[in-house]
A = this chain, B = another copy of it.
Amino acid sequence: MSGNSFGLLYCVTSFGESHGPAYGGVVDGCPPGLALSAADLQRELDRRKPGSSRHVTQRRETDTVEILSGLYEGRTTGTAIGFLIRNEDQRSKDYSAIAEKFRPGHADYTYWQKYGIRDARGGGRASARETVVRVAAGAIAKKWLKERYGVVIRGYLAQLGSTRLKFESWDEVERNPFFSPDAAVVPQLEKFMDQLRESGDSCGARVNVVASGVPVGWGEPVYGRLDADIAGAMMSINAVKGVEIGAGFGAIEQKGSEHGDEMTPQGFVSNNNGGVLGGISSGQDVTVSIALKPTSSIRIARRTIDVRGNPTQVETTGRHDPCVGIRATPIAEAMLACVLADHALRHRAQCADVTPPTKVVNPKKIN
């Protein structure tokens, strides 16, 4: 398995650079017979799209996706699904000034040292624009999980800088450019972002993702655990520095008598474990939380070195998201969807003949 692929059975392969001709991907292992069209992918891509509000990068991309294979008469055939998203707005001139310098917080220095060659235009392969491939691949996984198992995967912005957002409703999430679950806080977020943009600085964010309806039994102990694969997938998203499942770091200060989720015939009475026990889904909501670092591209001048090792300064004046976390919600959902689809397939491969012996009326958390 190469570095640009992930998933054992629902396998996603990605290629493309920020200023090359196109991004593209291959989804292999999707079950046959799923009704699918480019519109299904486009819907998710549009949620991630740049230029959708003044708070995100003003790069102009339609992110139009073309499906090149794996479909016949509107249904998946079980063969590899190839798709392409052409780049449209590559202003290479924007980046010429920084080709010789390593931007702090960026992958410039590490790519240069690893490969001895670097496509500096817009971050090349390290650009967060690569996440279009994840979102497209995740759209297919989402659709299949929903239709086959009733699994629903949704995310929201949980924190922007130091502002923690209350979870009010899923409906609200899609109504504002922040994926905020709380309408009331949106004006405050807008004001904060305007000030941030003006200051030339950037900030971090927290995004929460929840998968509901996941059946009990997905995940392969001991290394191929569901939560392990989720953690790996989330940490592979650009700018992510932390991942939590369930109570996460809050579990440190919990007592065992508080943390362990009790069960009753009516279901679990809490969900500190975030829907995963021993690496296997428990039937409760799978709850994941990720930390995204502040955008590294800022207008404020910063110390660095150039490719010859001499000290210099760099300030980034291109079109950048002042908070990459704002557009991260669909990306995190997509990664969760891909991991779940992979484990759905893996589970039924090994355990297709198992009749789960215990009848639990409602294996979900009691409200």
Contacts and interface: CB of A to CB of B under 8 A. Distances in A.
Contacts of A17: 69-70, 79
Contacts of A14: 26, 80, 222-223
Interface in A174-233: 201-206, 216-225, 227-233
A126 interface: yes
B222 A228 contact: no
B22 A11 contact: no
A161 B253 contact: yes
Nearest to A105: B260
Interface in A245-294: 245-265, 269, 272-274, 277-283, 291-294
Contact of A69 (B22, B254, B297): B22
Nearest to A310: B265
B33 A116 contact: yes
Interface stretch (A39-47, A48-56, A353-361): A353-361
A78 B115 contact: yes
B305 A15 contact: no
> Which of A28, A295, A349 is packed against the most chain B CB atoms within 10 Å?
A349
A235 B217 CA distance: 18
Contacts of A358: 109, 112-113, 305, 307-309
Contacts of A359: 309
Contacts of A300: 256-257
Interface string A1-31: 1111111110111111100111110101111
Interface residues of A, number: 166
A4 B31 contact: no
A81 B217 CA distance: 20
A357 B112 contact: yes
Contacts of A20: 68-69
A104 interface: yes
A354 B148 CA distance: 12
B241 A235 contact: no
Given A68-B21, A110-B277, A236-B279, A32 B252 contact: no
B79 A125 contact: yes
A347 interface: yes
A357 B230 CA distance: 36
Contacts of A355: 116
Nearest to A17: B69
Given A79-B125, A303-B269, A107 B221 contact: yes
A248 B231 CA distance: 13
Chain A to chain B: the 6 pairs with minimum beta-carbon distance, closest first: A107-B278, A3-B220, A105-B260, A232-B232, A3-B224, A202-B256
Given A80-B15, A110-B217, A235-B227, A260 B296 contact: yes
6 contacts: A1-B8, A24-B26, A69-B125, A104-B260, A126-B278, A235-B245
A230 B241 contact: no
A220 B15 CA distance: 13
Contacts of A202: 255-257
Given A119-B72, A216-B110, A251-B294, A228 B233 contact: yes
